[in-house]
Amino acid sequence: MAKEKKVEQITDMEVDFAKWYTDVCKKAELIDYSSIKGMFIYRPYGYAIWENIQRELDSRFKATGHENVAMPMLIPESLLQKEKDHVEGFAPECAWVTYGGGEKLEERYCIRPTSETLFCEHFKNIIQSHRDLPKKYNQWCSVLRWEKTSRPFLRHREFLWQEGHTMHATEEEAREETQQMLNIYADFMENVLAMPVVKGQKTDKEKFNGAEETYTVECMMHDKKALQAGTSHYFGDGFAKAFDITFTGKDNVLHNPHQTSWGVSTRMIGGIIMTHGDNNGLVLPPRIAPTQIIIVPIAQHKPGVLDKAAELQASLQAAGLRVKTDASDNSPGWKFAEYEMKGVPLRLEVGPKDIENGQCVLVRRDNGEKTFVSFDELEAKAAELLDAVHEGMYAKALKNREDHTYVAQTLEEAKAIQEEKGGFVKTMWCGDLACELRMKDEAGMSSRCRPFRQEKLSDKCACCGKEAKEMVIWGVAY
RNA sequence: CGGGGUGUGGCGAAGUUUGGUAUCGCGCAUGGUUCGGGUCCAUGAGGCCGCGGGUUCGAAUCCCGCCACUCCGACCA
């Protein structure tokens, strides 16, 4: 019996990372393909992860004064076209509804690729006075973008997400909102998903269509590629002007409100898989795992074993943990492999020998460590171990990022690092688009962000040698 | 959207070159057996061979078109 490789159905990530990824998505029963390219079926286990993500984020949104709404799915073409940069960015990947009830429509409708325009139309109707501000809305929905290539979770044509849209009386307040939401994302990813993030601002080239500023949280995957896990945009009053949204201020003068939007999607699940997964399958962060503890009874036909398993499940559930017992006829070894593949953070083994000794075994998914725990301290120990699994996963992911983040002083150096090692490359940058394009052309890397945590690596831009403004992190992105 | 690869029961494959009754392993069902790392045995069910045309007495196999998956680019959350 192989010690390292316990699940034969999954391709090793060192052999073929892309195949490993799709194997995990399918074998862990997260997702299935549908008959339409880029449209995926979220299976119960995959959807349960999304529901847990939703629950965690939604409570954070509510705690900061946001309200949920539901907007229409269709956008009239005339509405989409009101903001020039926005429509230019999204028009190429829109899908259109042209028939209704068998009749050709007067005006075609875009299936929402994002809902800024819909929110703006609505905001125009409901905002009159400074007393109506701020408006802090969010919606959980799916959006459609006609992508050319697709991969489970990472790039769908239809994907689930949340989009927050807010309107504020002052620029200062809108900017604060933008930062607050970015921080909520960062905190959520690190403390719930165990994914370390780099916070920063996008370059003009990479920012959202129509935004003044785009902020991002960037993560590094196992294959050293970057994943943009969430974004928060400051719009200024550009959309407000385009949509003629005004309010009367305390000064009895008409003003345009300042706007933000921010979103994360099911792409984060792809991030979880590629940040934490291993050659035995998925490894789920305990705080969003649909099942946190799987109880595997040993010699379950023997009297008392299943009763004890049920008793342990009940007491763990009473302690607020998500627990299941697998009492199927499959052998214990089969069950071990199955729940490893599904990434369940802790396995609890209990058999006749354990019952005699008044104990059971807890096994960590992240590192395989076994702990014997007496029944009377099980709830406390299980909760403690779940936290330890979270911390272990975070530390491992952080180490991966730090081990594969490099400094380059020149474009040639950056290119060499990318070709030989991959990962994040930090360089100084003058701020010119031309240098950013050269980095893409010659080193194959796009700018991931201008990190908030700046370092002064030198005085000169790595590309052109002119005076540098700031440090940029470059990488190959999903 | 350009270049390569692939498509055969739920999964993984053989068969395609040279047209001639649809194969194997896993899984599934039933019964028994076993249980601390994917137990073992027996019996059985399940296939529009990606889809649509064409050639032929006859097509999984040859020809044409399309679709999907996948890898490498370009584009994008």
**Spatial distance from the CA of A35 to the C1' of B67 (Å):** 9
pLDDT at residue number A59 = 98
Q: What angle do CA A6, A8, A12 make, to 5 degrees?
A: 90
Separation in Å: B6 C1' and A315 CA: 50
List all nucleotides in chain B with at least one atom under 7 A from a protein Cβ: 1, 11, 33-39, 67-77
Per residue in A391-447, pLDDT (tens digit) is 999 999 999 999 999 999 999 999 999 988 999 999 999 999 999 999 998 999 999
pLDDT at residue A343 greater than cutoff 70 = yes
**CB atoms inside a 10 Å sphere around CB A220:** 30
% of chain A at pLDDT higher than 90: 90
Which DSSP string corresponds to A254-265? EEPPEEEEEEEE
Split at pLDDT 50, 70, 90, the class of A2 is: very low
Residue A363 contacts strand B, CB under 7 A: yes
**Measuring CA to CA, which residue among A262, A234, A258 is closest to residue A246?**
A258
Is a pLDDT exceeding 50 seen at residue A260?
Answer: yes
Q: Kindly give, in sequence order, each residue whose CB lies less than 8 Å from that of residue A432, ignoring residues fewer than 6 positions away.
A: A461, A463, A464, A466
Instruction: Flag residues 318-357 of A with CB < 7 Å from strand B.
Output: 329-334, 336-338, 340-341, 349-354
With H, G, I as helix, E, B as strand and everything else as coil, classify residue A412.
Answer: helix
pLDDT band (50, 70, 90) for residue A357: very high
A381-CA/B77-C1' distance, Å = 39
Whether any strand B atom is under 7 angstroms from the Cβ of A5: the reply reads no
Is residue A261 within 8 Å of residue A163, measured between CB atoms?
yes
Considering all nucleic acid strands, name the nucleotide whose C1' atom is nearest to the C-alpha of residue A208.
B77
Helices (H) and strands (E) in chain A, counts: 14, 23
CATH for A293-392 is 3.40.50.800
Which nucleotide in the DNA or RNA is closest to residue A113, CA to C1'? B77
Dihedral (CA of A388, A389, A390, A394) sign: positive
Report the alpha-carbon distance of residue A267 to residue A152 in Å, rounded.
Answer: 8
For chain A, what percent of residues have pLDDT higher than 70? 98
User: What per-residue confidence (pLDDT) applies to A12?
Assistant: 87
Does residue A6 have a pLDDT over 80? no
Across the range A314-340, mean pLDDT stands at: 96
Q: CA torsion sign, A85 to A86 to A87 to A90?
A: positive
Residues 379-438, chain A, CB closer than 7 Å to nucleic strand B: none
CA–C1' gap, A361 and B42, in angstroms? 36
Residue A430 dihedral angles phi and psi, to the nearest 5°: -85, -15
In this predicted structure, the answer to whether residue A3 has a pLDDT above a threshold of 60 is no
Q: Report whether A449 contacts A216 (CB < 8 A).
A: yes
- The 10 Å CB-count burial string (b at 16+, else e) for A39-51 is ebebeebbbbbbe
- pLDDT on residue A313: 98
pLDDT of residue A36: 87
Residue A361's nearest nucleotide, by CA–C1', is B36
DSSP A38-76: T-EEE-HHHHHHHHHHHHHHHHHHHHTT-EE----SEEE
Residues 213-272 of A with CB under 7 A from strand B: 228, 231, 265-267
**CA A52, C1' B40: Å apart?**
41
Residue A323 has pLDDT above 80, yes or no: yes
pLDDT (0 to 100) of residue A134: 98
* Cα–Cα distance, A230 to A261 (Å, whole number): 11
pLDDT tens digits along A62-76: 999 999 999 999 999
Question: Considering the domain A405-475 in this protein, what is its CATH number?
Answer: 3.30.110.30
Note the pLDDT tens digit of each residue in A205-245.
999 989 999 999 999 999 999 999 999 999 999 999 999 99
- Sorted by where each begins, the domain ranges of chain A are 17-276, 293-392, 405-475
Q: Å from A440 (CA) to B2 (C1')?
A: 19
The predicted-structure confidence for A126-159, as pLDDT tens digits, reads as follows: 999 999 999 999 999 999 999 988 999 999 999 9
| Average pLDDT of chain A to the nearest whole number | 94
What's the pLDDT score for residue A193?
98
Question: Measured between alpha carbons, how far is A143 from A80 in angstroms, rounded to an integer?
Answer: 14
Cβ contact A37 with chain B strand, < 7 A = yes
CATH for the stretch A17-276: 3.30.930.10
Residue with tokens 């370390």: A196
**Chain A 436-455, CB < 7 Å to strand B:** 440, 444
Residue that the structure tokens 């403690």 belong to: A384
pTM of the model: 0.96
A 10-29, residues with C-beta < 7 Å of strand B: 18-19, 21-22
Q: Looking at this protein, which amino acid is placed at residue A421? A: K
For chain A, give the number of residues.
478
**Residue A5: is its pLDDT beyond 60?**
no
Q: Which nucleotide is nearest to A216 (CA to C1')?
A: B77
Q: Distance, angstroms, CA A119 to C1' B76?
A: 23
Q: Residue A8: its pLDDT value, please?
A: 57
How is residue A237 annotated by DSSP? T
Start-end of H helices in A101-156: 116-126
List the A59 CA – B73 C1' distance (angstroms): 42
* A242 touches A292 (CB < 8 A): no
Residue with CA nearest C1' of nucleotide B38: A334
ipTM score? 0.92
Residue A1 has pLDDT above 80, yes or no: no
